[in-house]
Structure 1
Amino acid sequence: MEAIQGKKIVYLYRLLSEAATADGAALAFTTENGRTKSKEAESTATKDGPVRTPGIAEAELTATSILAKGDTLIDKLEKALDNDETVEIWEVNLMEKGTESDEGKFKAKYFQGYLTEFEVVSNAEEHVEVSLTFGVNGNGVDGYATVSEQQQEIANYVFADTHKTGA
């Protein structure tokens, strides 16, 4: 067993409307990402004690980054919030490579959802920080995402892409 460092889990984003023309991209200067699943349950009192009925699972993804000058991805994501546009999100584990049939790919989870919260914090003594929260449709799908060698190197520093899905 080997522990996975946080920087080896990268999140890539793309507007679904740009799937045929744009690569997925990472936020510049990401400091933290998170994925949360939750499910509420209702209790019904019975003579034998409470019976719990599980509700529907909900997932949220979060990202925090330092705002980069000229960051067009942040601008696109903010407009996606305003216009209720679907966003694609990949959670890629760079520590787990694909098999021979998935060469150049890494274990990933794929999600579609909406940006539900966008926050910019500008402290007088620190860099401007952007925090994002995405509400996920469904539970996401497991698979393998393509990440080139160049993208892997870049992901260790600032930025990474995934390949286009169409012409």
Structure 2
Amino acid sequence: MTQEARRAMLQGKNKILLFRKLKDSNKEAAKLVFQTEHTFSLSREMDKIPTKDGTLVKIGELEGEFTGIEAIQSKGDPVVTMLQEAVIDGEKLEVWEVTVDENLKDEDGKYPAIYAQGYLDEWELPANAEEEARVSSNLQIELIPQFGYATLTEEQEEAVQYAFKDTVAEQPAGV
């Protein structure tokens, strides 16, 4: 595989989740520290109706979810506390899956993102003797997720692994 082809592949590690309670829209969304994995999925129920002329398909409503949200617990991570409170109190959350890839950044410096609102339906804190303590959850999406571009704060960008830079001097913007 060529170097160029490797750079063109999307890496799962570049897809991060940011969370915020819907009622706290006056605050910035926050990244769950030490995320290890998650899955975004969309699905529809399909009913097959056999007829004498052939099978008809009746499609159901679109359903979406973020499953397998996993992270290693960080001491004092306020996002873990916020998410735990949200599942206990049944509070609606906002979630963004942001693809932090410098090659995909738009001209305004925003990254491709999926935005959704929903509820955590599960909360687990596994503590294996031979591994780090973890947090695990699923988020059920309400309505249809939206696709667009999201801004990361400077702090959020710094929390994500820095991008590769070349050894040559960088040119000032607009030159």
* TM-score (structure 2 length as normaliser): 0.82
Counterpart of 1:143 (choices 148, 151, 163) is 148
Runs of 4+ in 1 over 4 A off after TM superposition: none
Report the CA distance between 1:149 and its aligned residue. 4.2
- Structure 2's unaligned 5+ residue stretches are 163-175
Counterpart of 1:74 (choices 74, 80, 83) is 80
Report the CA distance between 1:49 and its aligned residue. 2.4
Counterpart of 2:89 (choices 83, 96, 100) is 83
What amino acid does structure 2 have at the position aligned with 1:52? V
- Structure 1's unaligned 5+ residue stretches are 158-167
Distance in 2 between residues matched to 1:114 and 1:59, nearest whole Å:
11
Q: Deviations over 1:43-97 (max 9, x none)?
A: 2221122211011111111310011111221111111112111100011112211
The aligned residue for residue 51 of structure 2 is 46
Counterpart of 1:107 (choices 112, 134, 137) is 112
The aligned residue for residue 164 of structure 1 is none
Report the CA distance between 1:150 and its aligned residue. 4.2
* 1:123-134 superposed matches below 5 A: 123-134=128-139
Distance in 1 between residues matched to 2:155 and 2:9, nearest whole Å:
24
Q: Is the 8 A contact 1:37 1:57 kept in 2?
A: yes
Distance in 2 between residues matched to 1:49 and 1:82, nearest whole Å:
48
Distance in 1 between residues matched to 2:154 and 2:90, nearest whole Å:
34
Q: Deviations over 1:27-57 (max 9, x none)?
A: 1111112101111111222112221101111
Larger radius of gyration: 2
Q: CA RMSD in A?
A: 1.5
Distance in 1 between residues matched to 2:124 and 2:142, nearest whole Å:
21
Distance in 1 between residues matched to 2:49 and 2:32, nearest whole Å:
45
* SS of equivalent residue, structure 1 residue 121: coil
* SS of equivalent residue, structure 1 residue 156: coil
* TM-score (structure 1 length as normaliser): 0.85
